Structure 1
């Protein structure tokens, strides 16, 4: 279920000059904020938690997920170059799985690693805060990649829809409206962070068993449906 050639082409597309520059902006900003806070404010566990939760998990991870998830397949569908890939003797589920693995790897690299580094800068991983939010970044990277990869297969406006979800639903509604929190990848990942981090400092409105079930279920369903849409696209092209 993994094709090195598809992976190489996908990495090349995601890490091209323009897209790579965008991917570096948010992690760079997070690290800059962490350094400035440490220099001017010193070590403060609550501030460390607020920065990692409010910026890294709530903003950086979903936005990077949008870039990596939609970028793994969306541009190929938009410009028609996906036809050349589909003409190769590669199974459609293998294409989707490979692109998902690449999207996850890129999202993790540009979100989880900076989250860990920022946490270490802010408070040296005191009370396991850096570890807790890094785990949240890792697991949410998987779900976001699957969701946004699916968006890339079903809509030409995947980036716009992904940004609306990341910035409006996750950041606004997912933080303020009780019902929306249950359908928030951010809240699911925070359930794991809450289990690891200090009591009372990290909170999620979704219980851990439900959060894990939703993370796994959404990832599997999104991947399966993306594979099905790719099969449909192939049939349409053959017609």
Structure 2
């Protein structure tokens, strides 16, 4: 693990992701989720169905992928766009190490700004009744891992990573996922819901895929995205290497 994780690269990536402007964007959605949760609890009281709707409809379906877009693409995309990544590549650091370190940082930031607020919102909404708070926090955590890998890959292959990521998060995951039955099986949201359904047991959480299928697909997508991102970074050459 130590050969794959580089503390200096991690520190620089954290600094880039948690800069003043980007950190402000990262705080907006969690703050909105908590505000909605407080308002719903005050107006509707404790209701498992309402809690499920807020946690599933807003937290997992909207907030988690959007934060994943910001953290995943922001971990490397800006460096590639402005060319500063070449300075990093000139250092004696293996390129797979760079990708894996940035993936770890992006995942940590996404979990912090999505899974933690989801857990808090669940306790606010219904006091973790039917294990909904824990179930959706677990779903948000595993989804954060997959989204971070996917959007990190996008950051290495296109200068329009944020736009592509937003299209996936808002159109594919939210729109197609709710309207087209077949599209739901190819959704990180549904794969993570399979774990949430297991945690909540007899709760209202449901997924269109089974637990084993969801876990396998999450692993495959995450590993494949990291591998392809590493391959893509290897194609970036310095002037002195040509």
Shorter-chain TM-score: what band? Answer: over 0.9
Task: Say yes or no: does 1:165 pair with 2:163.
Answer: no
* Equivalent-residue separation in structure 1 for 2:28 and 2:151 (angstroms): 20
Q: Deviations over 1:198-237 (max 9, x none)?
A: 5361111111111100000000000000000000113687
For 1:44-55, list aligned pairs within 5 A.
44-55=47-58
Q: How has the CA–CA distance of structure 1 residues 99 and 25 changed in structure 2, closer, same or farther, with 3 Å as cutoff?
A: same
Deviation at 1:238, TM superposition (A): 3.0
For 1:117-132, list aligned pairs within 5 A.
117-132=120-135
Q: Secondary structure, in 3 states, of the residue corresponding to 1:130? A: helix
Q: Deviations over 1:45-80 (max 9, x none)?
A: 110011000000000000000000000000000000
- Corresponding residue for 1:10? 13
* Equivalent-residue separation in structure 2 for 1:101 and 1:125 (angstroms): 29
Q: Secondary structure, in 3 states, of the residue corresponding to 1:172? A: helix
For 1:40-189, list aligned pairs within 5 A.
40-189=43-192
Q: Aligned residue pairs: how many?
A: 239
Q: Is contact 1:56–1:111 with CA below 8 Å preserved after alignment?
A: yes
* Equivalent-residue separation in structure 1 for 2:237 and 2:100 (angstroms): 16
Q: How has the CA–CA distance of structure 1 residues 135 and 236 changed in structure 2, closer, same or farther, with 3 Å as cutoff?
A: farther
* Structure 1 residues not aligned, in runs of 5+: none
Q: What is the CA RMSD across the aligned residues, in angstroms? A: 1.1
Q: Is contact 1:71–1:152 with CA below 8 Å preserved after alignment?
A: yes
- Corresponding residue for 1:218? 221
**What TM-score comes out, normalization by structure 2 length?**
0.97
Q: Is contact 1:129–1:198 with CA below 8 Å preserved after alignment?
A: no
Moved more, 41-50 or 148-157: 41-50
Q: How has the CA–CA distance of structure 1 residues 236 and 222 changed in structure 2, closer, same or farther, with 3 Å as cutoff?
A: farther
Q: Deviations over 1:57-111 (max 9, x none)?
A: 0000000000000000000000000000000000001000000000000000000
**What TM-score comes out, normalization by structure 1 length?**
0.98
- Corresponding residue for 1:25? 28
